[in-house]
Amino acid sequence: MKKLIYLIVFTTLIFFGCTAPETGTEVLSDFSGKLSDSEIAGGKLTPEILWKFGRLSGGELSPDGKNVVYSVSRYDAKTLKRTSNIFIVPVEGGEPLKLTEDRFSDVAPTWTPNGNQIAFMSDRYDDYQVWVMNIDGSERQPYSDIEGGVNFFKISPDGKNMLYGKDVKLEQTLLDKYPDMPKANVMKMDDLMYRHWNDWTDYKFSHIFISPVKDGKVKDGQDIMEGEKWDAPLAPYFDDGEINWSPDGKTIAYTCKKLYGREYAVSTNSDIYLYNIETKESKNISEDNLGYDKYPVYSPDGNKIAWMSMKTPGYESDKERLVVIDLKTGEKEIINNLWDQNAHSYNWSDDGKAIYFISGIHATYQLYKVDIETKTFSQLTKGHHNYSSFSRVGDVIVGSKMKHSMATELFVVDANTGAEKQLTFTNKNIYDHIKMGKSVERWVKTTDGKDMLVWVIYPPNFDETKKYPALLYCQGGPQSAVSHFFSYRWNFQMMVANDYIVVAPNRRGLPSFGEEWNAQISTDYYGQNIKDYLSAIDELKTESYIDENRLGCVGASYGGYSTFFLAGNHEKRFKAFLSHCGMYNLESFAAATEETFFPNHDLGGMYWDKNNEVAQKAYANSPHKFVQNWDTPIMIVTGGKDFRIPYTESLQAFNAAQLRGIPSRLLYFPEETHFVTQPQNAIIWQREFFEWFDTYLK
């Protein structure tokens, strides 16, 4: 079931793998999200309140366009338990109807093809199975009986079949080989990709199965990838958006990276395959492209498919090209080839002449529409916010929207005018009592004369006559926009609630400002983008309300690299640093990370290639090369199960700081990964974060 958990983690930014602590007696969990009297009196966001937020995901319109189904997950930080419930709300607005109960994890709701029922996944038994219920929540009953459960599912448009995902063991362990050694604990590797993201190999692969629906039930079906040692959807996210039915229910378009071991580790070459359920044959329709090809979506008549394509091999953050293929002629066209923006999350118009999608523009994510023939692009929504997904029926769009001061909620959008109306108010009980800080867009000149967007987020009760400490926020990715996200980890509102001003620059190497701006960081981790950070903080620190003698610097992943690098190159600007899961020694990072295509592209190659001047310069600017300059207190955070940037990077940095006599602290979470996601761990993370900066900046 770990692949299901990953899918939920990366699509909703929450973690479902929590269990209750052993207390000897059962403690009743509270999933109400209700604030205590003291929290109401405090009037500001705290780590504890952050874990009372209801976390909304989904948002699918019914076939008749009248209702929306979605799910909300809630935690109880005291018991570490979690529940997820399904709701339905009329498009016209009104009080949502809760369809399930606070005892299970009921997730991934979708409408059955006729719109008369809602299908969903539930762990009501020992594993996740598909269930169905009426739209008022009545007559809940099992829909699938699949051995071992399912990771995801999609019912065919004609209702005759269901595809689902399931893990299949295809490789032998040493315990299988030596059954007389049942207490041994050992793994053997003969190739790469023996671990990925958060886990060592489990000798299993995510496969797609198809099963007929008989008498309203689904039994074990046919593995369309039988014997194949690769995943669909792709690891490590296992996003079921990479798989879709054709309108006639006869074909499946799916994404797969049919490579193994070392070849898999050094390549991003995934492809789009069409599987015919009658002939049982697969066809690769994107083999001419050697980069990523993902997220295929059929046109309403089934004659065309749109998908997201990246042309550069090994470059995971290349431009998201909208490709359309005519299945009858085989002709392909890049719709946004001359339009300098990304395009993802595709939805065809009813007549098949246009495609709705999401694109980033100036660190916001908006809904767009493009006429396929004329290549005319229309921006439907505007404002300081992010749309992360949407569903459309006719002229009605329902989208998931967030911003710095608001966790994800559903909004109704007019497909013609872009007019928006909020549909859900999941966390109104919190916003009614907690004052949020204001985010302001600021444009700063860089050292090479460019204009850079910087978000400045102010404390809720900001007083311009006072002086505040400020935190420079260094974004990870490295190519992930500092947009209007609402994070349950790096939460800007949490920082400003503690009376810090946040300076969050969209430095070089971030999307939504054109392909050139985004690509500049590759092989130049140490160059212009570092100067961009300093341009942002140098301009903002001149404001009368910022105390230039109380500046901190924080970041995770590539942002962690940035803090390590700046610690040795900041020229006394900062009084304290915090690096979370950062790259410290680029040579050890490149040799230990799992997706080798990443250092190959971003650093220009591997460190042992002495004839590669670009790579040698990148490794020469590894943060550990400047540790002799460290002179500022630094806190370092890492997780024992982070295999993207192994925790040993943080240990090296902490040991160096200690040996050099630098005030330093190591926060190590043995069971956490590249993120701190379990409730009590996350609360401690936040408490330590502010204790550290309060010590040195206040």
**For the chain, what is the largest distance between any 2 Cα atoms, rounded to a whole number of angstroms?**
75
Last residue of a domain, one of 81, 116, 142: 142
Tokens of 216: 């309203």
> For 118-135, how does the pLDDT look when each residue is reduced to its tens digit (9 = 90+)?
999 999 888 999 999 999
pLDDT over 60 (residue 181): yes
> What pLDDT was estimated at residue 102?
84
In eight-state DSSP terms, residue 479 is T
pLDDT over 70 (residue 686): yes
What CATH number is attached to the domain comprising 582?
3.40.50.1820
> What pLDDT was estimated at residue 125?
85
pTM: 0.95
Burial (CB count <10 Å: 0-12, 13-18, 19+), residue 625? middle
User: Does some domain include residue 600?
Assistant: yes
> What pLDDT was estimated at residue 20?
36
Question: Cα–Cα distance between 678 and 656 in angstroms, integer?
Answer: 29
> For 345-383, how does the pLDDT look when each residue is reduced to its tens digit (9 = 90+)?
999 999 999 999 999 999 999 999 999 999 999 999 999
User: Which amino acid appears at position 309 of this protein?
Assistant: S
Helix axes 528-540 and 558-567, enclosed angle (nearest 10): 70
Catalytic residue (choose from 557, 579, 622, 650): 557
> What pLDDT was estimated at residue 289?
98
* 12: confidence class by pLDDT, cuts 50, 70, 90: very low
User: Does some domain include residue 482?
Assistant: yes
User: Does some domain include residue 13?
Assistant: yes
DSSP string spanning 582-632? ----HHHHHHH-S-THHHHHHSSS-TT-TT-HHHHHHHHT-GGGGGGG--S
pLDDT over 60 (residue 8): no
Q: Tell me the C-alpha to C-alpha distance, in Å, between residue 564 and each of 322, 503, 550, 621.
A: 37, 18, 19, 11
> What pLDDT was estimated at residue 1?
53
User: Does some domain include residue 517?
Assistant: yes
Question: Cα–Cα distance between 136 and 355 in angstroms, integer?
Answer: 33
Last residue of a domain, one of 92, 124, 142: 142
Q: Tell me the C-alpha to C-alpha distance, in Å, between residue 449 and each of 19, 445, 511, 528.
A: 52, 6, 19, 11
> For 623-665, how does the pLDDT look when each residue is reduced to its tens digit (9 = 90+)?
999 999 999 999 999 999 999 999 999 999 999 999 999 999 9
Tokens of 355: 């495609």
User: Does some domain include residue 607?
Assistant: yes
Last residue of a domain, one of 109, 142, 175: 142
User: Does some domain include residue 154?
Assistant: no
User: Does some domain include residue 667?
Assistant: yes
pLDDT over 50 (residue 10): no
> What pLDDT was estimated at residue 26?
57
State yes or no: is 642 an active-site residue: yes
Mean pLDDT, to the nearest integer, of 2-19? 43
Catalytic residue (choose from 84, 439, 642, 650): 642
> What pLDDT was estimated at residue 187?
95
Tokens of 215: 């008498």
pLDDT over 70 (residue 7): no
Domain interval for residue 130:
1-22+40-142
> What pLDDT was estimated at residue 27?
61
In eight-state DSSP terms, residue 71 is E
User: Does some domain include residue 283?
Assistant: no
Run of H or E including 6: helix 2-12
DSSP string spanning 406-449? EEEEEEEEETTT--EEE---TTHHHHTT-PPPPEEEEEEE-TTS
State yes or no: is 580 an active-site residue: no
Question: Cα–Cα distance between 89 and 423 in angstroms, integer?
Answer: 8
State yes or no: is 674 an active-site residue: yes
Number of separate domains in the chain:
2
> For 14-34, how does the pLDDT look when each residue is reduced to its tens digit (9 = 90+)?
332 333 333 444 567 889 899
> For 489-529, how does the pLDDT look when each residue is reduced to its tens digit (9 = 90+)?
899 999 999 999 999 999 999 999 999 999 999 999 999 99
